[in-house]
């Protein structure tokens, strides 16, 4: 998950094509796997240096608001997303639909 997070900062579009064959070979539940990747990439979109969601937020924010203010403002959301990601990893049976 850490590798996906780091890749998501720079080359998010390559994560699924690289890891999907590995997940299939390891017989990992693909629904759970895609949920993890989606949540992880969503978190990486909120983190610098290429936090795409941060650029969108800056685009709709008032002109007086600094980018650093936006960076500081998303920290609680990043922490919440990491906590939920950990819950999905630790308790997959609650998130997998049979």
Q: What is the pLDDT along the chain (98 residues), one digit of tens a residue?
A: 777 777 766 676 777 888 889 999 999 888 888 888 888 888 888 887 777 788 888 889 999 999 889 888 889 999 999 999 899 889 888 776 65
What is the C-alpha end-to-end distance of the chain, expressed in Å? 23
pLDDT of residue 19: 85
Phi, psi angles (nearest 5°) of residue 6: -65, -45
pLDDT of residue 64: 93
- Domain holding 59, by residue range, is 2-94
Q: How many domains does the chain have?
A: 1
SS3 call for 51: coil
Q: Give CA 91 to chain center in angstroms.
A: 18
Give the span between the Cα atoms of 55 and 3, in whole angstroms.
23
């Amino acid at each position: 998950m850490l590798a996906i997070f780091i890749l998501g900062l720079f080359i998010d579009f390559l994560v699924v094509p690289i890891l999907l064959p590995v997940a299939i070979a390891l017989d990992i539940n693909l629904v759970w796997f895609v949920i993890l990747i989606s949540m992880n990439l969503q978190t990486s979109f909120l983190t610098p240096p290429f936090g795409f969601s941060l650029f969108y937020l800056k685009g709709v924010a008032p002109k007086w608001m600094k980018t650093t203010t936006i960076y500081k403002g998303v920290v609680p959301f990043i922490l919440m997303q990491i906590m939920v990601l950990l819950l999905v990893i630790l308790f997959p049976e609650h998130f997998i639909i049979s």
